[in-house]
Structure 1
Amino acid sequence: MVNSLWFKWKGLRLPWRKSFLVGQDLAGNTFWEFKDQLNAGRYRRIVKFDPKTHYGDVKVTPQWHQWLRYVRPTPPTIEEQRQDLVRQAQMKELARLADERWASKPSFLDKPKTQHQTPGIGAEPATTNANSGPVPVSADAPSSSTQAPQPDPTSTPPKTRKEENPWAKADRQVPGGNYQPEAWSPTSKR
């Protein structure tokens, strides 16, 4: 009660006062306005904090910072500051949930756990009919000519033309083009 009376008394804009209390934040910092000595038509705005607090430890909320920099004309209320704390807590919870969802997904940077076998060049993907099982093929039935021949897995793939190195020709034309330095081995000097 004494604090609220003191705040009300300091907040009164009496003509003999040099500075007026505008409000305080939830951390206990007080915000003041005073008449500028050089420009009497303008008020300057400052924050006063506990003198035992180091300058680096002073935290000013965005709403009060906006008021200090003349971005907003009216100072924030205590209720507005409390709602901002609730909003910050909700944002932290949403960020935590998003981090959990992100961590649960596999990363492209991790090693794959299983290697997928890719079918060969002539291999067709196996298709099965969901209604019926595999179709038996009788030995008496002639083979249809529409089936593609299956490649023999034991045979080697056809050899392709060897790619020629374009720099090899240039190295042969330049004297010393194929020079390679010898390996260095340390020897003791006597």
Structure 2
Amino acid sequence: MVNSLWFKWKSLRLPWRRSFLVGQDLAGNTFWEFKDVANANRFRRIVKFDPKTHYGDVQVTPQWHQWLRYVRQDPPSLEEQQQDLVRQAQIKHLARLADERWASKPSFLDKPKTQQPLPPTEPAKPSVNPTTESPPETSTSTPPTPTPKPASAKPKAPKEDPWAKANPGNPGDTWQPESWTPSSKR
């Protein structure tokens, strides 16, 4: 009660006053205006905080910072400052939910599992009857032998160049550089 009366008294723009109280933020900082000595048409704007507070611990909200820098004409109201705190709490909640969704997805940086599924580009080997298949026998003493190629495979003939017929032939088409041989002349 006493504080609110004091704030109302200090905010009155009486002609003999040098500085006028404009408002207060939720942290208890007070914001003042006073006539500029160099320019009588302009008011200077300052913030006063608790002298026991360290300079590094003073925090000015963006709305009050805008008012201090003349970006904003009117000072923010207490309701606006409280709504901003609610907005910040909502953003923190949404950010926490987004972080949880992000953390639930597997990362490529995690250690791979022992049994990796096949990549989607490689088709899985189809098995006709998986219960009757026997596992392949592996022997540590003999290496696996490569399967021989069938002898009936014919070598493929080189393909004809489709542009050979369309090109009438230029004199430089068949030119190839000759290898350099040093001559004995000096």
Contact 2:118 2:124 in 1 (8 A): no
**Aligned twin of 2:146:** 156
Output one character per residue of 1:106-126: Cα deviation in whole Å (capped at 9) or x when no partner: 0011122122357xx9x8852
Partner in structure 1 of residue 57 of structure 2: 57
Report the equivalent of 1:116: 117
Distance 1:50 1:156, change over 3 A: same
1:35 & 1:124 partners in 2: Cα distance?
82
Give 1:18 deviation, angstroms: 0.6
1:100 matched residue in structure 2: 100
**Structure 1: runs of 5+ lacking an equivalent:** 135-153, 159-190
> C-alpha separation between the residues in 2 aligned to 1:50 and 1:59?
12
Q: Distance in 2 between matches of 1:47 and 1:104?
A: 45
Task: Give % identity.
Answer: 77
Q: Match of 2:78?
A: 78
TM-score by length of 1: 0.63
1:76 alignment partner, SS class? coil
Partner Cα distance (1:79, 1:13) in 2: 23
Residue 157 of structure 1 and its aligned partner are, at CA, apart by: 7.1
> What is the TM-score with the length of structure 2 in the denominator?
0.64
SS in structure 2 of the partner of residue 14 of structure 1:
coil
Output the CA distance in 2 between the equivalents of 1:8 and 1:31. Answer: 13
- State how far apart, in whole Å, the 2-side matches of 1:83 and 1:37 are: 37
Q: Secondary structure at the match of 1:102?
A: helix
- The letter of the residue matching 1:103 is A
RMSD between aligned alpha carbons?
Answer: 2.5
Q: Residue 57 and residue 88 in structure 1: after superposition, are their counterparts in 2 closer, same or farther (change >3 A)?
A: same
Q: In structure 2, do the counterparts of structure 1 residues 157 and 56 end up closer, same or farther at CA, with 3 Å as the change threshold? A: farther
